Copies of this chain bind each other. A is one copy, B any other.
Amino acid sequence: MDEINLFFEIAIDCQNLFFIFTISPMKQKKRTTIYDIAKKLNITASSVSRALNNSGHVNETTKKLILKTAAELNYKRNTLASNLRKGQTKTIGVVVPRINQNFFSNVIAGIEDTTYQKGYNLIICQSNESYTKEIKCINTLINQHVDCIVISVSVESYDYKHLQNVIEQGIQLIQFDRVVDELETLKVINDNEQASFEAVCHLIEQGYKKIALLEGPQNLNIFTQRKTGYLNALKKYNLPVRNEFIIENAWTKELGAEATRKLLSLPEPPDAIFASTSDFSALGVLEVASALSIKVPSELGICGYSNEAFTEITSPSITTIDQFSMYMGKTIANLYFQEKENNDTIVIPKIISIKPKLIVRSSTLKSLKS
């Protein structure tokens, strides 16, 4: 009965790695199927299937017997076959630029949390901000016959035939955060424009008058929206728009730092910088300011975007915008199930816009210092 598991170890220490080699026998098993159970009990597979699924009628005693022997034989349902038969996979595909970015991993965690409760699985893909990889991800998900695809498009994506394709294949498509406006799909987004507007108003109300904007790639609508919010706020307070204060493509820490150096060396430098792209670029701003001994917030106000954990612990702490990422994930999942259940009724929510929240911290509290 018991397999003898001989093994023998060789240790090799080589720089950073430490291997232990082991000789071990390979094993291959045949899984038990409903037929195996049926054969053992001298009944047919259909009865076993019914018993295991609680569907149709089946004698209570035989049912108990079936469940018992199923446990004994360590039966595990082959979801593949089941799904093929039923034409649904109870699987949701998720495509994000990067799994290990806080915002996205939080959204995924949120999705997983609610979908799990409904017995759904998640297939995760990362586009790595690449258009071609995004297409491949979408295609594998279609091939996998997922019931729904959730996506936040990559920065590179300029064409959306692959997303159109998803819809054509009858797969529910839900976009979030970075959405393609033209595409008629379910969407869960942040009200970027409003959040951005409020952030800049806050800066102005704190007494900052020359506010610079670090903007992200404008082909992503979230960044154009944030820019609009910025412009609207300036307009509201009758402040001039200075083109030299608007820096394109400053959406990493390094680019944020670079932009800051450029801004601060202007004849008339800004007195506040709104890093509308991310907290990382805000961090770049802060580091440059520190290096140049420019006092934050008294000489320079800084506002980021996303409420990354670290914004709370920098000195000074960074004012930023919380996107409720985890909640966003749950919302996406709920939207899917809601849509699924209501697909015979008529009224369904199509776009859910979550209003982000401005988190005011030290880096913009100029008024307290004066």
Q: Which of B18, B21, B105, B123 contacts A99 (CB 8 A)?
A: B105
Q: Which of B29, B169, B184 contacts A168 (CB 8 A)?
A: B29
For A76, the chain B residues whose CB sits under 8 A away are 139, 142-143, 169
Whether A350 sits at the interface, judged by CB under 8 Å, is yes
Whether A83 sits at the interface, judged by CB under 8 Å, is yes
For A346, the chain B residues whose CB sits under 8 A away are 23
Q: Report whether over half of chain A's contact residues are helix, strand or loop; otherwise say mixed.
A: mixed
Range for the number of chain A residues in contact with chain B: 35 or more
| Chain B, residue nearest A315 (CB) | B315
For A24, the chain B residues whose CB sits under 8 A away are 184, 348, 350
Report yes or no: A20 in contact with B145, Cβ–Cβ below 8 A. Answer: no
Write the A293-316 contact mask toward B (1 if CB under 8 angstroms, else 0): 000000000000000011001110
Contacting B at CB under 8 A, from A99-122, are 99-100, 102, 105-106, 108-109, 112-113, 116, 119, 121-122
User: Complex: how many Å from CA A1 to CA B109?
Assistant: 40
Report yes or no: B191 in contact with A22, Cβ–Cβ below 8 A. Answer: no
27 pairs from A and B in contact (CB 8 Å cutoff): A7-B350, A16-B357, A17-B353, A18-B352, A18-B354, A19-B352, A19-B353, A20-B350, A21-B349, A21-B350, A24-B348, A26-B344, A27-B170, A28-B170, A29-B168, A76-B143, A77-B143, A79-B144, A80-B83, A100-B109, A113-B126, A113-B128, A121-B144, A122-B124, A310-B310, A310-B313, A314-B314
